[in-house]
Every structure is written in structure tokens, then in C-alpha cells.
Amino acid sequence: MSPIFIVGCGDVGLRVAERWKKQGVTLSALARSSESAAHLSQQGITPITGDLDAAETLQNLPLSGAWVYYFAPPPLSGVVDSRMQVFISRLQSAKTAPLGVVYISTSGVYGDCQGAWVDEDAVLAPMTDRSKRRLDAEQQLRSWGRVSGVAVIVLRVGGIYGPDRLPIKRLQRQEPVLEPQQSPYSNRIHIDDLVTILLAAIEKGQADRVYNTCDDSPSTMSDYFFAVADSVGLARPPTVDMQQAALVMSPAMLSYLTESRRMVNRRLYDELGVTLAYPDLASGLKSS
């Protein structure tokens, strides 16, 4: 197996690295600080010092003959991913291109679909700057891939849940959720299944291809909070209507409540050959 270089090696990156280590793959990752570099070394990952917000620090990236996972988030403002611009500039100046790049994007690039089922060919209409930055990163990377002849694979990921990724504190605070009849549809994926899909993307993914990354059972956001509360023995949160929500919820949460969609995940099965360990929320919560 070819070496792997991870850009943005947080929780997801470390889990992916751990899975690849079991197969004897050589791993390296970008580290912004000495603390991050030390932590990566402790995990058996070679740290490569550099910062996507400082282009001059990105020298001699281990791209030759490698697969790249790009997990770094965009900047916090604007509609352009300047970090992706910096990374692509380094790809363009490298003497040898990587074998391929796998990028984690978001289901938010579809915008509000009013609860409709959407596949990867659906019209893209991101509503928030957060999602617009992700779409910009997708477009930059896929355009570079087409020109350079390097495989680029994009995963449009729903909400990630699993151990240490449940809204326990929110439920303990009894923060309200939208009443069920007004709550939008959302999509989720268990962290373990996401890691499986990320490995399969390198092994079987097609060049310049997008994959909706979610389980088989989208549900409303309120149903999600209710299910988590039930599974951990907490009281279900109170509910409010949309008018009340505008007064008591954060702008970030309200932005999620204005979008509703159900993603079709058929390509995960047909092209990546994935078998989900947790195809629905009920099975996933049992492991979480």
C-alpha cells in the first residue's frame, strides 16, 4: 500500500490512521505546532511541520507516490477556502503529484431541498457561508484533479456521531429543540462507518467522483435528540415552534433548521462496496 499523508489530523484523521496502521501503511500528517507534532509522533505518525494559513511554511510535503486525506476545515469566514488555495498551490509546485486526494465535504452544499431525496447529481445551492466555503474547496480541488490527471474523491458527509460525539451536555442543559412537525430532515453517519468509507475511498473510489456519506435512515433533527436522550437515560428536551426558536436558539443552530434533505447513499454500496456496521441510528447509538 502507498504511504498516506493527512492534512488536518484531528479525531477523524487519527481514527483513519489507526485503521491504516494495522495494515502496515506508512503515515505522515501536517502539524501546525510542536504540541501537535509530539502528539502525532506518539501515535506512530510522522509529523510534517506546516500551516495552511502560512504558505511559506509548507515545504517538502511528502506527496510523491502518496495518497492524501484532506480533513482541514476552511477558514471561519468568507465564501472561499483560502487554505485549499494554499494547498493546491503546493500541489502545483510539487515535482511529483500524489496518487490521489480524498476530501471531506458537507451535505450542506445541497442547501434546502425541502425534505426531498438527493443524489450526488442534484443541483448544489448552499445557503450558508459555511457550506459555500466547502463547495469552493470541492470545486478548487476537483478542477486541479482534472487538469493534473490526479484522482480526487469527495465525500459529502452528514452529521457525525458515535462515542464522545453525542450532544450529552446540550441534553443535560435541556436546551429546546424544534417541535417534531416542523423539524427538518437531516443525515448522519457513525464515526466507525465513516472511517470504513474513507479507507474504501482510496481502495475503490473513482476519480473525480462524489459520494454521499450517510447511513440508510435519515430522520428529523428533533427525532435525533429524542433518540439520544432515550438511549442515555436523560429527559427529552423541551420543544418550541420556529417563531420561538428564533428567540432562544443560536444563529448557527437556526441555520441548520432552515435546511431539510435526505441523501441517497447508493454509491457507497454500488461503487465502494461498503457494508455499514450501523445503517440506522438505533444500531449506532447502542455502540455509542
Q: Which domain holds residue 88?
A: 4-162+189-216+262-280
Please check the confidence at residue 1 and state whether its pLDDT lies above 90.
Answer: no
- The four Cα atoms 22, 200, 3, 35 give a dihedral, to 10 degrees, of -70
Domain tally, the chain: 1
Whether 141 is covered by a domain: the verdict is: yes
Please check the confidence at residue 94 and state whether its pLDDT lies above 90.
Answer: no
The 3-state DSSP class for residue 94 equals coil
Please check the confidence at residue 80 and state whether its pLDDT lies above 90.
Answer: yes
Whether 180 is covered by a domain: the verdict is: no
249 C-beta neighbours (distance < 10 Å), count: 19
Distances (CA, A) of 75 to 30, 31, 146, 186, 225: 17, 17, 25, 24, 28
User: Which cell is 245 given?
Assistant: 426558536
Whether 72 is covered by a domain: the verdict is: yes
Whether 131 is covered by a domain: the verdict is: yes
Given this model, what pLDDT does residue 95 score? 86
Which amino acid is located at 243 in the chain? Q
Whether 96 is covered by a domain: the verdict is: yes
Whether 134 is covered by a domain: the verdict is: yes
Given this model, what pLDDT does residue 28 score? 98
Please check the confidence at residue 60 and state whether its pLDDT lies above 90.
Answer: no
How many angstroms separate the CA atoms of 178 and 111, rounded? 19
The domain spanning residue 82 has which CATH number?
Answer: 3.40.50.720
Tens-digit pLDDT profile for residues 128-169: 999 999 999 999 999 999 999 999 999 999 999 999 999 999
Tens-digit pLDDT profile for residues 157-209: 999 999 999 999 999 999 999 999 999 999 999 999 999 999 999 999 999 99
- Calculate mean pLDDT across residues 245-261: 93
- Calculate mean pLDDT across residues 119-123: 98
How many angstroms separate the CA atoms of 110 and 187, rounded? 12
